[in-house]
Structure 1
Amino acid sequence: MPQHGVFPVLTSVSDHAFPKAARLTKTDEFSSVFALRPRRRSTHFVLYVRANGQQQGRLGIVVGKKFAPRAAERNLVKRMVRELFRGRQDQFGGRDILLRLQAKFPRAEFASRTAIRRTCHAEISGLLDIAARPLPVAPPEPARPAGLPASPA
């Protein structure tokens, strides 16, 4: 029989936490990742990845009303992305990863949440596999001979 006034002890979820440090939160952070070419596209998502110079990987998620008009769908997609990222976040150190929903889930094909969940899981997992790959090295800038001024932009 439960006693009144006694609360269960909350266990730590530090191994699976999604702290603020692991999120892209500011407009500038999102903009700097969006400025890059998309790394990969799937049927419903676009993946952007860039080096962030930090030890921890960070995740940004964009799910607009245009492609998921119901809040339940938007929340489902965001929960799935966060959960898949959280389970593999040790693979994403030093990267900012941004996933953006780019297409609707047509009602005719995705009548149930289970169908949406199954498709999202497959696409997001595949995109996160790509995000975990080594980042391409940026080509070095050509060296200017000493004494020549920088060319005007």
Structure 2
Amino acid sequence: MSFIFSKEQRLLNSKDYTHVFTASERKSSDSYFTVLRRFSLSEKYSRLGVVVAKKNIRRAHERNRVKRLIRESFRYYQWSNSYDVVVLAKHSAQYVDNRVLFKSLLRHWERIGQ
């Protein structure tokens, strides 16, 4: 099991994001995140896309903290199938500590992985 977050494990362009947004197969949402999943275009890896809007989280250091946590959580959680996953951060994510966000993400990974 590898915990590396390589370039192959990222959604890199708008085509990849559109693939998930247009017809997501699973959706999970709470007060901190909305997570969308679709079977991957890539055969090898599950891939992650992160959307943290400046409109929702104003300060750059808070946006970066949330993005770091999302990537870290994604690296630790491994699926047997390959999925394209997009995580959208909500406004309330900036006000809670890392432990709460990490637990929230783990619940999302379990829900969408079924």
Report the equivalent of 1:61.
50
Give the counterpart of 1:119 among 97, 100, 110: 100
Q: Does 1:79 align with 2:68?
A: yes
Query: Within 1, Cα distance between the matches of 2:85 and 2:17?
Result: 10
1:91-110 matches, within 5 Å, as 91=79, 93-105=81-93, 110=95
Please state which structure has a larger fraction of its residues in strand: 2
* Structure with the higher fraction of residues in helix conformation: 2
Aligned residue identity for 1:128: W
Name the structure 1 match of 2:16.
29
- TM-score when scaled to structure 1? 0.66
Q: CA deviation at 1:93?
A: 3.2
1:146 aligns with none
Instruction: Classify 1:33/1:92 alpha carbon distance in 2 versus 1 (closer, same or farther; 3 Å).
Output: farther
State how far apart, in whole Å, the 2-side matches of 1:66 and 1:72 are. Answer: 14
- By relative contact order (CA 8 Å, sep 6+), the higher-ranking structure is 2
Gaps of 5+ in 2: none
Alpha-carbon distance in structure 2 between the residues aligned to 1:92 and 1:77: 26
The answer to whether the Cα contact below 8 Å between 1:92 and 1:131 also exists between their aligned partners in 2 is: no
Percent pairwise identity? 27
* Structure 1 ranges of 4+ moved more than 4 A: none
What residue identity is the alignment partner of 1:120? L
Structure 1 pair 105–46 and aligned structure 2 pair: CA distance change class (3 A): closer
Bigger Rg, structure 1 or 2:
1
Q: Secondary structure at the match of 1:39?
A: strand
List per-residue Cα deviations over 1:46-100 (Å, max 9, x = no partner): 11000014121001110011111111111111111111111123x1532101110
Structure 1 residues not aligned, in runs of 5+? 1-13, 134-153
Equivalent residues, number: 112
* C-alpha contact (below 8 Å) 1:48/1:99 kept by paired residues: yes
Question: How far, CA to CA, are the matches of 1:102 and 1:34 in structure 2?
Answer: 17
TM-score normalised by structure 2 residue count: 0.86
